[in-house]
DNA sequence: CAATAGTAACCGTGGACGTG
DNA sequence: CACGTCCACGGTTACTATTG
């Protein structure tokens, strides 16, 4: 492997791709954050969860709708699923064009967004309509020159899970972890505010799970046990308001290990129901194959990345939302079958 | 449909402060 | 004074809505 750590990679990116920026390292770090998001989205894709996903949507705190938090990915129950075949295909593929194929939307005004732009950039989880019962989203499934297959899903308003991605770099001149923790605190606050299943710290250090039942009584027990019961139950009453919270963090092997976590990691780990690590080795290997020594099949993804920075050269076509069609295909095939590490 | 303005998030850095 | 912790901010980016 060409790079032993993401930290070394970030410095290389700063000196090459992001040479134009006033603060190169910062821009490179931001781009690495975008990569973590992309990996997460395409991992959800390979888990067959794509049609549940909405990106960057506001989720209210539990029973406190005045305060909303934008979450990276929220997963919602599917109320109805429609397959749409569009042929002939004329770009850009707008929400208005998709609407013509969907009788249930005839009375509705759709948003003016594009699921597929003229220059072949896909929009993941395109929101066609934001209705009372929830968002209607579209994803381009298969695509050829003249023909396009879309999956359109009517989703419920309330998500059953949320995913957040975090990346924390190594400060210049530092050998160990970050000096700031508010990123972790922000993530922790959201994770602990959105679900009907809440945590109470016990004197012995464990967490008690508490969930108010419709009749006002409390369902309670050790957090992990209640969590498991709620997930296993298929009762809509039990699931009401419950949101599984998942964090995805890029791990720097050079400043902590999964056995010896720093404070930021401990805050995140105790706040999310599930914390996934992208290991230093795994992430740098991915980026190495993607950007520095690309395999032939990842070449389109590399091109999309390089074409996206600096931004003045056009719109970004390598993010969790906007993705060049050929890069999308490459990412799907590469991440298919890949397991989350750590 | 391209350009623009506005909002919010992310990442890295500076500095204050307490402790050993 | 090195080190860890915390507060706070600036630059950059992503995304949405609006406009012409």
Which residue carries 């930021």 as its tokens?
A264
Question: Which residues surround strand B, with CB < 7 Å?
Answer: A 10, 23, 25-26, 28-30, 32-33, 36, 69-70, 72, 91-92, 94, 112, 117-118, 164, 166-169, 171-172, 178-180, 183, 186-187
Torsion sign across C-alpha atoms A62, A192, A197, A227:
positive
How many angstroms separate the CA of A9 from the C1' of C8?
Answer: 28
- Is there a domain that residue A63 lies in? no
Report if CB A100 to strand C is under 7 Å.
no
Residue-level pLDDT at A225: 94
A196 vs A250, higher pLDDT: A196
- Is there a domain that residue A340 lies in? no
- pLDDT tens column, A200-246: 988 888 899 999 988 999 999 999 999 999 888 877 777 788 999 88
% of chain A residues with pLDDT over 90? 12
- Is there a domain that residue A72 lies in? no
- Residues A124, A38: Cα–Cα separation, whole Å: 11
Start-to-end CA distance of chain A, whole Å, equals 19
How many angstroms separate the CA of A311 from the C1' of B5?
Answer: 17
| Helices A24-46 and A325-335, axial angle in degrees (round to 10) | 60
The answer to whether residues A267 and A183 belong to one domain is: yes
The secondary structure of residue A52, as a DSSP letter, is G
- Residues A72, A58: Cα–Cα separation, whole Å: 9
The answer to whether residues A271 and A290 belong to one domain is: no
- Is there a domain that residue A121 lies in? yes
The answer to whether residues A166 and A274 belong to one domain is: yes
How many angstroms separate the CA of A23 from the C1' of C5?
Answer: 25
The answer to whether residues A181 and A262 belong to one domain is: yes
How many angstroms separate the CA of A36 from the C1' of C2?
Answer: 34
DSSP 3-state of A126: strand
- pLDDT tens column, A188-200: 888 888 899 999 9
Q: Which nucleotide is nearest to A127 (CA to C1')?
A: C16
Residue-level pLDDT at A174: 56
Domain termination site, one of A155, A182, A198:
A155
The answer to whether residues A28 and A167 belong to one domain is: yes
Residue A247's nearest CA partner among A204, A291, A192 is: A192
Helices assigned H by DSSP within A215-338:
223-232, 236-239, 263-271, 280-287, 299-308, 325-335
Q: Which nucleotide is nearest to A119 (CA to C1')?
A: B1
The answer to whether residues A179 and A263 belong to one domain is: yes
- Is there a domain that residue A229 lies in? yes
Report if CB A170 to strand C is under 7 Å.
no
Residue A166 has pLDDT above 90, yes or no: no
Residue A254 has pLDDT above 50, yes or no: no
| Helices A280-287 and A6-15, axial angle in degrees (round to 10) | 30
Question: What is the residue-averaged pLDDT of chain A?
Answer: 81
- pLDDT tens column, A84-122: 998 888 888 888 889 889 988 888 888 888 888 888 888
Residue-level pLDDT at A210: 95
- Is there a domain that residue A210 lies in? yes
- Residues A321, A302: Cα–Cα separation, whole Å: 17
Residue A126's nearest CA partner among A164, A162, A84 is: A84
How many angstroms separate the CA of A48 from the C1' of C9?
Answer: 41
The answer to whether residues A213 and A83 belong to one domain is: no
- Residues A93, A287: Cα–Cα separation, whole Å: 31
CA closest to B14 C1', residue: A179
Residue A1 has pLDDT above 70, yes or no: no
Domain termination site, one of A131, A155, A179:
A155
Residue-level pLDDT at A313: 53
- Is there a domain that residue A341 lies in? no
% of chain A residues with pLDDT over 70? 87
The answer to whether residues A242 and A305 belong to one domain is: no
Residue A300 has pLDDT above 50, yes or no: yes
Residue-level pLDDT at A153: 92
- pLDDT tens column, A3-59: 566 777 777 777 778 877 777 777 787 788 888 888 888 888 888 899 999 988 888
Which residue carries 């929009």 as its tokens?
A123
Domain termination site, one of A103, A138, A155:
A155
> Do A160 and A239 contact (CB within 8 A), yes or no?
yes
Look at chain A and report how many structural domains it folds into: 3
- Is there a domain that residue A186 lies in? yes
**Chain B bases closer than 7 angstroms to a protein Cβ:** 1-2, 8-15
The answer to whether residues A255 and A112 belong to one domain is: no
- The CA-atom distances, in angstroms, between A95 and each of A146, A260, A302 are 18, 49, 29
Residue A167 has pLDDT above 90, yes or no: no
- Residues A151, A139: Cα–Cα separation, whole Å: 5
Residue A293 lies in domain? 282-316+325-334
From the number of C-beta atoms within 10 Å of its C-beta (0-12, 13-18, 19+), residue A111 rates as middle
Residues 6+ apart with CB under 8 A from A178: A168, A169, A170, A171, A264
pLDDT bucket at A173, cuts 50 / 70 / 90: low
The answer to whether residues A127 and A168 belong to one domain is: no
A185 vs A248, higher pLDDT: A248
Residue A165's nearest CA partner among A99, A74, A238, A87 is: A74
The answer to whether residues A234 and A252 belong to one domain is: yes
Q: Which nucleotide is nearest to A92 (CA to C1')?
A: B1
Residue-level pLDDT at A253: 47
- pLDDT tens column, A312-325: 556 778 888 888 88
The answer to whether residues A122 and A109 belong to one domain is: yes
How many angstroms separate the CA of A50 from the C1' of C3?
Answer: 45
């Amino acid at each position: 492997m060409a790079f032993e750590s993401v930290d070394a990679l970030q410095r290389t990116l700063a000196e090459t791709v992001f040479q134009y920026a006033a603060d190169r390292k910062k821009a490179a770090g931001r781009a690495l954050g975008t990569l973590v998001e992309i990996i997460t989205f395409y991992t959800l894709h390979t888990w067959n969860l794509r049609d549940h996903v909405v990106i960057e949507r506001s989720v209210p705190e539990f029973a406190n709708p005045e305060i909303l938090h934008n979450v990276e990915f929220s997963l919602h129950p599917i109320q109805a699923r429609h397959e749409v075949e569009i042929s002939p295909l004329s770009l850009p593929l707008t929400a208005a064009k998709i609407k013509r194929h969907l009788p249930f939307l005839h009375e509705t005004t759709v948003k003016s967004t594009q699921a597929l732009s003229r220059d072949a950039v896909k929009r993941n989880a395109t929101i066609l309509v934001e209705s009372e019962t929830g968002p209607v989203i579209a994803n381009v499934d298969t695509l050829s020159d003249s023909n396009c297959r879309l999956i359109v899903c009517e989703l419920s308003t309330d998500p059953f899970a949320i995913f957040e991605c975090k990346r924390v770099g190594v400060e210049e001149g530092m050998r160990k972890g970050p000096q700031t923790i508010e990123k972790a605190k922000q993530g922790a606050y959201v994770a602990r505010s959105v679900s009907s299943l809440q945590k109470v710290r016990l004197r012995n250090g464990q967490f008690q799970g508490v969930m108010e039942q419709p009749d006002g009584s409390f369902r309670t027990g050790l957090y992990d046990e209640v969590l498991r019961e709620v997930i296993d139950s298929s009762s809509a009453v039990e699931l009401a308001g419950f949101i599984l919270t998942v964090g995805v963090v890029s791990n720097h092997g050079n400043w902590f290990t999964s056995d010896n976590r720093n404070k930021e990691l401990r805050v995140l780990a105790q706040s999310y129901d599930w914390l996934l690590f992208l290991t230093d080795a795994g992430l740098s290997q991915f980026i190495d194959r993607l950007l520095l020594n690309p395999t032939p099949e990842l070449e389109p993804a590399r091109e999309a990345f390089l074409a996206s920075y600096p931004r003045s050269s056009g719109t970004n076509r390598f993010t969790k939302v906007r993705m060049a069609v050929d890069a999308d295909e490459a990412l799907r095939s590469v991440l298919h079958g890949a397991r989350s590490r750590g």
